[in-house]
Structure 1
Amino acid sequence: MLAKCIAIISVIDDTYDSYGTLDELIIFTEVVDRWDISEVDRLPNYMKPIYTSLLDLFNEYEREINEQDRFNGVNYVKEAMKEIVRSYYIEAEWFIEGKIPSFKEYLNNALVTGTYYLLAPASLLGMKSTSKKTFDWMMNKPKNLVASAIIGRVIDDLATYKIEKEKGQLVTGIECYMQENNLSVDEASAQLSEIAENAWKDLNKECIKTTT
């Protein structure tokens, strides 16, 4: 279930990053939010298989879980999918319009597009021990999930900055941080590394604290 979710979100990510025009992406974002197969005819032909595959995948999830004795959390993952698609659109809009957001604005959106908030609840789908309480907790973005998302996002930004810069990508974590704080690449990188380090501390703290 998780592998299939990763596969479909990879295709959707590429669609927003490399193929869709802004007008096409507006429509795609709207039809995903409506989650209705009757909306498919609004899409350009190359997007139709992506949309139908997305809906088919979640129908498959429903069938498989309903055949087994476990809580059906598909709707939670569906809402997470809608959220990430909306955030992909924001990213595409920034890129196409050449806007560099504030670092806070960038990070809030990038934590969603980093996929942690989608793949974490998706990973629960196949677990027999999950419950409504588990999904509610996960969808409220607990501190350990946010910390994990920050670590993944910031470390990825540090690792890919030079490649993205060569491609002309302006909306990166380092670029936003540099411009906002008037720093060099090295200075911004050091401070972003500190943000990741603090997130590790948050994650470790959440992992060892007692729970009721």
Structure 2
Amino acid sequence: MLALQKSKQWMTLRAKKLKEDICMLFKSSNDTVVKMSLVDKLQHLGIDHLFEDQIDTAMWQILKSEFSNYNLYEVALRFRLLREHGYCVSPDVFNRFKSEDGSFINGNGSLKTPLAQQVQRALQIPMPRTNKRVEMLHYILEYEQEEHNPILLELAKLDFNLQQNVHLKELKAIIRWWKHFLGYIELSFIRDRVVEGYTWASVLYYDTKFELTRSMITKMIVLITTLDDIYDNHATLEDSWKLHEAIQRWDKSAAFLLPEYLKKFYMEMLRTFENIEAEMLANTNYDIAHLKKAVQNNVTGYLQEAKWSHRNHKPSFVDQVKLTSLNIGVPTICVSMMAGMSDAMMKTALKWAASVPDVVISVGKISRFMNDIGAFERRKCKGDMASTVECYINEYNVTSEVAITKTVALIEHEWKTLNQARFQNHLPALQQFISLAISTTFFYGNRNDIYTG
């Protein structure tokens, strides 16, 4: 244990020295292309979070600097970086690389590894929608094979190892909490998704300073999953009404409303929120009342689904999407994510997230559509309420492939909404909502459903 502690201390000190060296790289060059390349490498290596101020300054300088270049790579790099950082750059910069019919002029030569692998990944998932942590795992190995800056590579490896140490410690603690929770509530039909929940939280907030935020997001994910399982798989319509009423009251005295098998769950849920509130009050100015309200709204949606299911009601595709894109839990998770905002921004960000703005609805739709595509085959055999894909098939009398193609098009439409929001709203919270949309690809991409199983 002592040797491990010394190792952590050495890694921390070494990482600090490397960060200072990289800060000097920002200061030592006025070349726009060099700065763009540095920012791009830091992002790919997953260490851009260590240089937020330097990158913000560099991006402003890149925007304002003279740039007249006939190299497609450099023009494309500048365009992508500025767009990613919320600057509205015209796509007209690519006109010089297009033929008269509007298509790009073919270049000569072939791509070599690892560049070919990077291009292949970008063709599967566009770079702005790529999960940083997943890309980083690929890119560290690839960057080592290229002509590279050893300082950047060493810091990326050290930062990853330091974060892994923290994440593993947190995961052990959250698993202990979850085992106690499951053991106390005694509901055997509940899915055990605590590891997946923590993975999701650590993808959204991976910096070591966000321990409380990761813990709260994880707990919200598994609580939403638990509520979903109760409403979907076990509760009668009468039980669903009673649980809804108790959660709207949000008071221990409301436990008498519930059937015996739900009383322990209800009490433990309230206790979990009490503990979260105590942690937040001790460390931040996060107002947990917004989170309680988000859960109450979530449960109201679950009750509506339960009524549809028990009454064999088949909603229209539009009504189905409107309800289930919120029921997937995105508004609740977005509110919990605001615990990671700075104290100066938290009140504004939390109020905005709790209002369920259009961007949160778009993230909910992306998550719902990707979830339903990934779970389509499983849901056909499950017996719960029809997914959006099945609803579209039934309403428009089309094949599953036609329905999935339409759903993919709707996902693209919602991404356009999010991309437009980047340029209209520079609140830090917006990027967190976009990160949540990006994270759905990790669990539901390629028509898979890793989370539900």
TM-score in same-fold range (> 0.5): yes
- Partner residue of 1:29? 244
* Dislocated runs of 4+, deviation >4 Å: none
For residue 306 of structure 2, the aligned residue among 64, 71, 92 is 92
Partner of 1:180: 395
Q: Is the 8 A contact 1:71 1:128 kept in 2?
A: no
2:291 to 67, 70, 77: 77
- Shift of the alpha carbon at 1:31? 0.6
With 152-161 and 2-11 compared, the bigger mean Cα shift is at 2-11
Deviations 1:59-85 (A, max 9, x none): 1122112222x3232000100000111
Give the aligned partner of residue 197 of structure 1: 412
Deviations 1:13-33 (A, max 9, x none): 111111111111110011101
Asked if residue 44 in structure 1 is aligned to residue 269 in structure 2, the reply is no
Q: What amino acid maps onto 1:200 in structure 2?
A: W
Which residue identity does 1:171 align to in structure 2? A
For residue 107 of structure 1, report the CA deviation from its aligned partner.
Answer: 1.0
Q: 1:59 to 1:170 in 2, by over 3 A?
A: closer
Alignment check: 8 A CA contact 2:243 2:258 kept: yes
Question: What is the aligned partner in structure 2 of residue 121 from structure 1?
Answer: 335
CA contact (8 A) 1:143 1:206 kept: no
After TM superposition, give the deviation of residue 45 of structure 1 in Å: 1.3
2:356 alignment partner in structure 1: 141
2-structure distance, mates of 1:203, 1:119: 17
CA-based RMSD: 1.7
Amino acid at match of 2:337: S
* Structure-2-length-normalised TM-score: 0.45
Q: Encode CA deviations 1:64-112: one digit per residue, 9 max, x unaligned.
A: 12222x3232000100000111111111222222111011111111011
Distance 1:6 1:170, change over 3 A: closer
How has the CA–CA distance of structure 1 residues 42 and 6 changed in structure 2, closer, same or farther, with 3 Å as cutoff?
same
Residue 101 of structure 2: aligned partner: none
Give the TM-score normalised by structure 1: 0.92
CA gap 1:51/1:181 in 2 versus in 1, 3 angstroms: same
Provide the rounded CA distance (Å) in 2 between the counterparts of 1:90 and 1:6.
20
Q: Matches of 1:187 and 1:72 in 2, distance apart?
A: 45
Distance in 1 separating the partners of 2:372 and 2:224: 19
Rounded to whole Å, the distance in 2 between the matches of 1:60 and 1:87 is 26
State the Cα deviation string for residues 104-151 of structure 1 (Å, max 9, x = none): 111111011111100111122354434321111112222322221111
Report the AA paired with residue 93 of structure 1: K
Equivalent residues in 2 for 1:148-187 (5 A)? 148-187=363-402
The one-letter amino acid of 1:109's match is L
In 2, distance between residues paired with 1:54 and 1:14? 15
Q: Structure 1: state its 5+ residue gaps.
A: none
Give the percent of matched residue pairs that are identical in Structure 1 and Structure 2: 27
What is the CA–CA distance in structure 1 between the aligned matches of 2:425 and 2:383, rounded to whole Å? Answer: 47
Measured in 2, the distance between the counterparts of 1:170 and 1:66 equals 39
Q: Which amino acid aligns with 1:92?
A: A
Look up the match of 1:102.
316
One-letter amino acid of the counterpart of residue 17, structure 1: D
Q: Which moved more, 1:135-144 or 1:24-33?
A: 135-144
Amino acid at match of 2:335: P
Structure label with greater radius of gyration: 2
- Whole-angstrom distance in 2 between the partners of 1:25 and 1:11: 13
Say which structure, 1 or 2, has more relative contact order (CA 8 Å, 6+ apart): 1
Q: 1:8 to 1:210 in 2, by over 3 A?
A: closer
Query: Would you say the 8 A contact 1:144–1:203 is kept in 2?
Result: yes
SS in 2 for 1:100: coil
- Tell me the distance in 2 between the aligned counterparts of 1:202 and 1:38: 44
SS of residue paired to 1:41 = helix
Aligned residues of 1:12 and 1:50 also touching (Cα < 8 A): no
